[in-house]
Amino acid sequence: MQPRHRYGRRRGRVPAGDRFLPRLGPAGEEPFAALDDPEHDVAHARPEPATPIDDLRFVALDCETTGQSPHHLVELGAVAFTVRDHLMSFETLVHSNDRINPYARRIHGIASENLHGAPPVSRVVERFRRFTQGAVLVEHSADAFDTRLIARTIGAGLDADNLDTTRLAAKLFDFRDTIGLERLCRQLDVPHRRPHHALADAEATAGCFLELLRQGRERFGWKTLGDLLEAGQPPLVRVVPPDEPGAAAATDGAPRRTRRSRRGGRSAARRSQRDAPEEPPAEAGE
């Protein structure tokens, strides 16, 4: 049997750049983060669970990836905001010499040629770590995929609490399954200017979060960060450092779920039990 083709490192290396390479750009007049912004690198303490919601700074984020295991960043978008104001946006393509899966490329529209001149991932995630200091992270991902991907890339967890809009929506609307971002935007009447663009998805996530927050305050009386974490915190991030054995096989820094093979599954398990040698019957009294 011939081995199945896997998309590996592309032929010909794409040169990296030394500044952010945005794909979408601002929706209005909001300020944008740059790769080197020392005047914006003000250290903020991580908020306590008792912190009132009105005093919190949030960062909604979204990632686009190569679309195969192990996933690698090709775009990162984020929006820093409070319940009153949009503070700053963050958007860049991310340099990578790994081939982008054709299905992923059809979804997000990013080809390897688009990454010419994009900054290296190490500088992007380090700048993002500073961008999120003292903030509460918000993402539309029930398993915190985006946060875990960034944490795996950094090699350490982000020092921030995390909220998931799919869990908040399930709490409010009694959903039994996760809801896609575009559908949630339609349900909440939140604009979404370009689906599958990291910045636009982050903007839409922020908009959905603010509307879910408004309804949750009215219905459940949410007042503090602790109330939000109880309603919408995804699983905690477990980071596998990049140099740890087996880290390259992990897609997001968390333990991988074992899936049944289409050719195995329960039938294979039954066969293994059937073919196993029988154990002698236990003696009475054992």
Domain count, the chain: 1
Q: Would you say residue 160 lies in a domain?
A: yes
pLDDT digits (tens, 9 = 90+) for 133-174: 999 999 999 899 999 999 999 998 899 999 999 999 999 999
Q: What percent of the chain has pLDDT over 70?
A: 76
Q: Would you say residue 79 lies in a domain?
A: yes
Which structure tokens are listed for 66?
Answer: 């190569």
pLDDT top residue among 27 and 95: 95
Tell me if 24 sits within 8 A of 194, measured CB to CB. Answer: yes
Q: Would you say residue 72 lies in a domain?
A: yes
Tell me if 78 sits within 8 A of 19, measured CB to CB. Answer: no
Q: Look up the pTM and report it.
A: 0.80
Q: Categorize the per-residue pLDDT at 235 as very low, low, confident or very high, splitting at 50, 70 and 90.
A: confident
Q: Would you say residue 19 lies in a domain?
A: no
Q: Would you say residue 17 lies in a domain?
A: no
Which structure tokens are listed for 272?
Answer: 């293994």
pLDDT top residue among 178 and 150: 150
CATH code of the domain covering residue 117 = 3.30.420.10
- 283, pLDDT greater than 90: no
Q: Categorize the per-residue pLDDT at 237 as very low, low, confident or very high, splitting at 50, 70 and 90.
A: low
In whole angstroms, what is the distance from residue 204 CA to residue 113 CA? 27
Q: Would you say residue 20 lies in a domain?
A: no
Residue-range definition of the domain harbouring residue 74: 38-256
pLDDT digits (tens, 9 = 90+) for 29-58: 889 999 987 666 567 899 999 999 999 999
| Lowest mean per-residue pLDDT among 50-59, 100-109, 188-197, 269-278 | 269-278
- The whole-number pLDDT of residue 239 equals 59
- The whole-number pLDDT of residue 61 equals 98
Q: Would you say residue 190 lies in a domain?
A: yes
Q: Would you say residue 31 lies in a domain?
A: no
